[in-house]
Amino acid sequence: METAPNTNPTTPPAAEATPPVQITAKAVDMVKKTREQEGMDESYGLRVAVMGGGCSGFQYALDFEQEARPTDTVFEVDGLRVFVDPVSARYLEGVSIDYVFGTTGAGFKFDNPRATGTCGCGSSFAV
């Protein structure tokens, strides 16, 4: 006798094995410090998104949000909740976010192995 698949709508979806984007410990630390400096408590998480624009066609966006949207992928890195919408998730696969210090300043660095082009600002890319 075959059993039907579980179609109970209250059953939680299976956890995603790999988050769509990787965030280094240094980047998480800077996000937490910035959140604190902005007067936000730990209930705020980080939204990582990709938007059309920038000199290469797409640009990365980071922002604080308190609640996930219904279709977001939500994961946690060192106590920081991270929200990624489904469209951005496609472009963020394999991306790593770090926080770097350099001779020209400090900031978040996006390493996207799938990008076919980038611009000098480091936050715009093409695929």
pLDDT tens figures, 9-27 = 444 444 455 899 999 999 9
Has residue 97 been placed in a domain? yes
Q: Is residue 14 part of a domain?
A: no
Task: With CA atoms as reference, report the closest residue to 58 among 30, 90, 27, 20.
Answer: 90
Residue 22: burial class (beta carbons within 10 Å; 0-12, 13-18, 19+): middle
Total domain count, the chain: 1
In a domain, 7, yes or no: no
Q: What is the pLDDT of residues 60-114, one digit of tens each?
A: 899 999 999 999 999 999 999 999 999 999 989 999 999 999 887 889 989 988 8
Q: What is the CATH classification number for the domain harbouring 115? A: 2.60.300.12
